[in-house]
Amino acid sequence: MKYISTRGQAPALSFEEVVLTGLAPDGGLYVPETLPKFTKEEIASWAGLSYQELAFNVMKPFVAGAISDEDFKKIIADAYATFRHDGIAPLVQTAHNEWILELFQGPTLAFKDFALQFLGHLLDHLLKKRNQKVVVMGATSGDTGSAAIEGCRRCDNIDIFIMHPNNRVSNVQRRQMTTVLAPNVFNIALEGNFDDCQNMVKASFGDQSFLPEGRQLVAVNSINWARIMAQIVYYFYAGLALGAPHRPIAFSVPTGNFGDIFAGYLAKQMGLPIDQLVIATNSNDILHRCISSNDHSKHQLQHTLSPSMDIMVSSNFERMLFDLYDRDGNAIRQLMEDFKSGSMTLKESALVRARELFTSHGVSDEVTIDVIREVFDRTEYLLDPHTAIGVDAARKTRRRQDIPMVVLATAHPAKFPEAVRKAGQDADPALPHHMQDLFEREERYTILPQDLAKVQQFVAANVRK
């Protein structure tokens, strides 16, 4: 299988090349040239498979011979060996035909572990085979960073540099990153917001001349295709558990960068009978505004109780636009140029198609707190603020009560004690056993100004020989 750029001016790459490349040289994002399609009978035959067995079946067509079946199965097994729940992605019922898909059972308590544990082991395999050393550079609004560090901390061929917005992630999120003292891990607290961090990463990928000779950047943000690929699996897993492919299913996805819900769109295109995909956003509602009123304009970023969604530039939306515009790279290039100046407008046919595929809803902090409180009062199940946004959006936009609605629980409530306290809990949620001493561990990070040259100097000076 080959992978092509959304902007149409970069060479097609193999799977191995696309994992190690990140952004395409024309500034676009890589997507598969064609999507694998599974028949109803094929999907039905997977009922009862373990998460790992299902992951192999769903992802194998994307790898297309780049890795042997034996090695690929081992990468998958190693990736999910550190998850705390044997079900990997268990479902919990919170109302009639309403389910929470717990995607926080991994080592850093967030859905990012599904992709980044996998990506860490995948990179390790590919780099050892190539005898190559690389630099991972990433930006995080809270959860990607810790999951990427956890996935790469033991990789001999990787130096990892993660930027987070200084004082704009929760204490738990920060400490999950900054208390990893491995020699190949470097945390940068940038004086700016997440979009500033992400812009620095994109600029660095565009010109890598600051790196020592023989090194290249590798992306761990969701611009890396392997991350999207790994996230497709849990849509199939939840669907099969609730009766697919013999009955349709709906998903509500808390999203800021669009990667997680794009994986759901791909699952639908690959044959999973998804009746509804709900884009759930917080007050930084550019995706909701785009779908509901064709307003894809940048507003002032707001800092909310759901900081992992405090994003105004949703990188993965470009992949969706590529399909909405019939894979016209020239059109996408023009749209991205328009957006650089502050806003873009979708053509009518693309907007109609987007509305057929997605419903959307924006949720305020006040409503988020109310939902956490209401669900706990009725079920004694404690939601994190991002998941609460997914629940509210699901309930406000749901089309059919007879179809199971699955809300993706993107993080453990212990990561966001402020929101939980505001919802009336007397104490902070307890951290799982393996993180009980988190606030006693030594921290190590460097505060840097919003200055690309200084960030790149720091990276170049700390790459290990």
DSSP structure string for 10-26: S--B-HHHHHHH-S-TT
Q: Are 377 and 221 in contact (CB under 8 A)?
A: no
Kindly indicate the confidence band of residue 390, based on its pLDDT and cuts at 50, 70 and 90: very high
Residue 143, number of CB atoms within 10 A of its CB:
27
| pLDDT score, position 343 | 87
The single-letter code of the amino acid at 323 is D
Whole-structure pTM value: 0.93
Residue owning tokens 């939840």: 238
Number of C-beta neighbours around residue 167 at 10 A = 10
Give me the pLDDT at residue 222, please: 84
Whether residue 202 is predicted with pLDDT greater than 90 in this model: the reply is no
User: Which of 375, 360, 373, 361 minimizes the C-alpha distance to 93?
Assistant: 375
Q: Is the pLDDT of residue 223 over 90?
A: no
* 338: amino acid identity, one letter: D
Distance CA 322, CA 320 (A): 5
d(C-alpha 410, C-alpha 388), whole Å: 10
pLDDT of residue 54: 98
- Shortest CA distance to 255 belongs to which of 191, 319, 210, 163? 319
| Interval 109-130: pLDDT, tens | 999 999 999 999 999 999 999 9
Any idea which residue has 């690389």 for tokens? 134
Q: Is the pLDDT of residue 374 over 90?
A: yes
Task: Grade residue 96 by pLDDT with cuts at 50, 70 and 90.
Answer: very high
Mean pLDDT of 7-13: 96
Question: Is the confidence at residue 100, as pLDDT, over 80?
Answer: yes
- At position 251, the amino acid (one-letter code) is F
pLDDT at 142 over 80: no
Q: Is the pLDDT of residue 103 over 90?
A: yes
Q: Dihedral of CA 353/308/223/126: which sign?
A: negative
Does the structure show a pLDDT above 90 at 221?
A: no
- pLDDT mean over 215-235: 93
* Rounded Cα distance, 117 and 227, in Å: 10
Residue range 151-193, pLDDT digits in tens: 999 898 999 999 999 999 889 989 999 999 999 999 999 999 9
CB contact set of 353 (below 8 Å; sequence gap of 6+): 324
Query: What residues are annotated to the active site?
Result: 112
DSSP symbol at 445: -
- Residues in contact with 124: Cβ distance below 8 Å, sequence separation at least 6, in sequence order: 154, 155, 157, 158
- pLDDT for residue 465: 83
Reported as a single tens digit per residue, the pLDDT across 13-63 is 999 999 998 789 899 999 999 999 999 999 999 999 999 999 999 999 999
Tell me the average pLDDT of the chain: 95
- Tell how strand 158-165 and strand 249-254 pair up: unpaired
Report whether pLDDT(326) > 80.
Answer: yes
Helices (H), 316-384: 317-324, 329-340, 348-357, 365-379
Residues 73-90 pLDDT 10s: 999 999 999 999 999 999
Q: Measuring CA to CA, how many Å separate 88 from each of 60, 113, 257, 304?
A: 19, 11, 23, 29
Residue 457 CA from chain centroid, whole number: 28
Task: Decide: residue 432, CB within 10 A, 0-12 exposed, 13-18 middle, 19+ buried.
Answer: middle
Measured between alpha carbons, how far is 71 from 7 in angstroms, rounded to an integer?
33
Q: What is the pLDDT at residue 22?
A: 78
The string over 300-334, giving b where at least 16 C-beta atoms fall within 10 Å of a residue's C-beta and e elsewhere, is ebeebbbbbbbbbbbbbbbbbbbbbbeeebebbbe
| Percent share of the chain, pLDDT over 90 | 89
Q: Is the pLDDT of residue 360 over 80?
A: yes
Any residues with CB less than 8 A from the CB of 381 and at least 6 apart, and which? 92, 94, 100, 375
Under the banding of pLDDT at 50, 70 and 90, the label for residue 312 is: confident
Nearest in space to 268 (alpha carbons), one of 138, 178, 358:
358
The amino acid sitting at 12 is: A
User: What's at 158, amino acid-wise?
Assistant: I
Q: Which amino acid is at 331?
A: A
452-462 vs 194-206: helix axis angle to the nearest 10? 70
Over range 358-363, report the average pLDDT: 98
Cα separations in angstroms, 333 against 68, 146, 169: 36, 32, 32
List, for residues 231-270, the tens digit of each pLDDT value: 999 999 999 999 999 999 999 999 988 999 999 999 999 9
Top pLDDT among 409 and 198 is at 409
Burial class (CB in 10 A: 0-12, 13-18, 19+), 396: middle
The whole-angstrom separation of Cα 266 and Cα 304 is 29
Q: How confident is the model at residue 342 (pLDDT cuts 50, 70, 90)?
A: confident
